[in-house]
Amino acid sequence: MNIHANVLNTTAADSFLDNIRKDVLKITGDALKDSSIHSIASCYATQDPATKRMLTAAITYAEESLQKYNVLIEGPSGTGKELVARILSHKRKPLKAMNMAGLTDTLFQSELFGYMPGAFTGAKSRGDVGFLRAVGKGTAFLDEIGELPLAHQAKLLRVLQDKTVLPVGAVDPVPIQCRFVFATNRDLLKMVKEGSFREDLYFRINELGLKTFSLQQRGVQEIRCVASAIIAEENWTPIGEREHFSDETFSFGNVRALRNLLLKRELGEIELPEYDKGE
Ligand SMILES: Nc1ncnc2c1ncn2[C@@H]1O[C@H](COP(=O)(O)OP(=O)(O)OP(=O)(O)O)[C@@H](O)[C@H]1O
Ligand SMILES: [Mg+2]
């Protein structure tokens, strides 16, 4: 079923999405009974209800019967999109990532789709299978998908629709078997409205969608929770009951920045403010 022409207005699109929802509902219960999955998701420290719901959805989307659907993970930089991609791929290994930013036209095609022997100057003599075939039946994680130029977007759409690639210099397309996961820190819907991201591609990559939130959006308690997880992992000094993360000490909302702050604290370069200090 081609839902990607005028997808916003068609009833075909609605029924396609209904089918996805039914598929999701059917398996959610079983997926959540499997406790091994929870340990996979436990690498993502959180106490925020919306983030817990997102992780539950990621666990569900990792299930066999939903692997035919493409997943888009949207969220600010450093908020764990790659961790979510790992949860999604735990049954579909290997997970291989490729960054879509800064790919020239030739690189985009040869790196993703591969090339035939002698396809261009400097090519390997035996050719190359390219990223998407090298992933095999695993998960292809195309990161920073919002950076993909329009010309490449059309080519990627064709690949997603046909589940084949045309290696550079080849005559016949070759089937691919990977699962696709995409991530972006851009507002793709806004880019669609502005004309810099194809609407049909947006709906194709976003058959199932997940959103990560900044630490600030998740609240002060969340900063403490994630900080404790990082400290436990690194074996650093636990956070005292009185220490806290004021807006001045932590204004980034980004887990990488939080880790850097905690490292400085561990090295004694900074101190976190304390409640009721001096009492
Ligand atoms: N909730 C969390 N609990 C523990 N560690 C986390 C959490 N979220 C992110 N991290 C850690 O923060 C770092 C950044 O996470 P990750 O690379 O997944 O973010 P990202 O959203 O892909 O960032 P970018 O947009 O910059 O690519 C990683 O080291 C990751 O392990
Ligand atoms: Mg990332």
pLDDT, tens digit (0-9, with 9 covering 90-100), for 122-149: 777 788 999 999 999 999 999 999 999 9
Residue 146 CB–ligand 1 contact under 6 Å:
no
Portion of the chain with pLDDT greater than 70, in percent: 84
Nearest atom in ligand 1 to 185's CA: 25
Give residue 71 CA to ligand 2 midpoint distance, Å.
15
Q: Kindly report the protein residue whose alpha carbon is nearest to atom 30 of ligand 1.
A: 80
What is the reported pLDDT for 148? 95
What is the reported pLDDT for 221? 84
Q: Which tokens belong to 105? A: 């036209």
Give the mean model confidence (pLDDT) for residues 217-231.
88
pLDDT, tens digit (0-9, with 9 covering 90-100), for 184-194: 999 999 999 99
In this structure, which residues have their CB less than 5 angstroms from ion ligand 2?
Answer: 81-82
Give residue 66 CA to ligand 1 midpoint distance, Å.
24
Long-range contacts from 128-133, C-beta under 8 angstroms, 24+ separation = 128/167, 129/167, 130/165, 130/167, 131/96, 131/98, 132/159, 132/165, 132/176, 132/178, 133/165, 133/174, 133/176
Residue to mutate, 77, 79, 231, 252, ligand 1, most ligand atoms under 8 Å from C-beta: 79
pLDDT, tens digit (0-9, with 9 covering 90-100), for 230-278: 998 899 999 998 888 887 777 777 899 999 999 999 999 998 888 775 5
pLDDT at 5 over 50: no
Q: Which residues contact 31 (CB under 8 A, 6 or more apart)?
A: 37, 59, 60, 62, 63
What is the reported pLDDT for 7? 37
Q: Kindly report the protein residue whose alpha carbon is nearest to atom 18 of ligand 1.
A: 80
